[in-house]
Amino acid sequence: MRHAYVHGYDGPESVRLQDQARTLEELLHADTRYPPGSSVLEAGCGVGAQTVALAANSPGARITAVDISFASLGQARSRVAAAGLVNVCFQQGDVFALPFADASFDHAFVCFVLEHLRQPEAALAELKRVLRPGGSITAIEGDHGSAYFHPDSEAARAAIGCLVDLQRAAGGDALIGRRLYPLLADAGFEGMLVSPRMVYVDASKPELVDGFIRKTFSAMVAGVRAPAVAAGITTAERFAAGVAALHRTAAPGGTFCYTFFKATGFKATGRNA
């Protein structure tokens, strides 16, 4: 299935995506502002976790948020309305076959979606199709290979490895952050700039200890316990030990590092656009 999604669509995952977006908003969104009157496509908006930040930060831009999941779109619509934002419209659509004419948008934004796709190159090519020449793309992804922490733990690294393996088996790539530059280049974008955004957490940042270590990263790993055990790549005990070790990095004396990658690029204005 092209849109196999390793984290699922249930309630805890929706809460995790909200926690993640709130915690990371400054780090990931501070330098994304779209001019008044511009049209922006957010592909794979999910439950609207990034949509709220996008729309609030660029109140004059018209944002079209698309997702393949009708249920997620419903939640996103409610969230955006609750935030009092009126510059977003929602549409169900597949990032591999977007329901828009060529050159429909000034900007495209995609966050935590490419990592789940079997063919991220094809999705980027489709996003390029609906961008006008000279239009920009912004892609944000994590890279689970960038997670390191204290106290270090082989069990924790193995639990993270289960997530990477499951995502790979579903056709995705949990290590995609490091590939954003070549992916955009292969899709024919120009002027790419990739900016690594490191989250470093220790006890002096209690909001990140809770919002990032516990509620975002550890919650994400813990979320694949059942499929990892079912796939036979771990045991319930070993996986639980890994998650417990991740939680220990949130205790006093623990530290945690993770790097997101934010890439921007442009659709060429010339003949080969």
Ligand X SMILES: C[S@@+](CC[C@H](N)C(=O)[O-])C[C@H]1O[C@@H](n2cnc3c(N)ncnc32)[C@H](O)[C@@H]1O
CB atoms within 10 A of CB 90: 21
Residue type, 186: D
Say whether residue 23 binds ligand X (CB under 6 A): no
Of the candidate residues 94, 165, 190, 210, the single one contacting ligand X (CB under 6 A): 94
Question: Does residue 151 have a cis bond before it (omega within 30 degrees)?
Answer: yes
By CB under 6 A, which span of 2-10, 30-38, 124-132, 158-166 interacts with ligand X?
2-10
Q: Does 90 bind ligand X (CB under 6 A)?
A: no
Query: Which one of 16, 34, 39, 44 is in contact with ligand X (CB under 6 A)?
Result: 44
Stretch that binds ligand X, among 62-70, 148-156, 234-242, 247-255 (CB under 6 A): 62-70
* Interacting positions 103-142 with ligand X (CB under 6 A): 111-113, 116
At closest approach, how far in Å is the CB of 110 from ligand X? 7
240 touches 24 (CB < 8 A): no
Interface with ligand X includes 215 (CB under 6 A)? Answer: no
Site for ligand X in 253-272 (CB under 6 A): none
Whole-number minimum distance, CB 149 to ligand X, in Å?
Answer: 22
Q: State which of residues 3, 22, 157, 178 lies at the interface with ligand X (CB under 6 A).
A: 3
Tokens of 120: 């991220």
**Binding flag, residue 17, ligand X (CB under 6 A):** yes
Closest to ligand X by CB, 45 or 184: 45
Per CB under 6 A, the list member of 96, 100, 148, 181 interacting with ligand X is: 96
- For residues 120 and 256, the answer to whether their CB atoms sit within 8 Å is no
**Minimum Å distance from CB 256 to ligand X?**
20
Please name the helix (run of DSSP H) or strand (run of DSSP E) that holds residue 51, with its range, or none: helix 49-57
50 lies in the site for ligand X, by CB under 6 A = yes
Which residue of 19, 67, 143, 173 would you call a contact of ligand X, by CB under 6 A? 67
Residues forming contacts to ligand X in the complex (CB under 6 A) are 2-3, 5, 7, 17, 21, 44-46, 49-50, 67-69, 72, 94-96, 111-113, 116
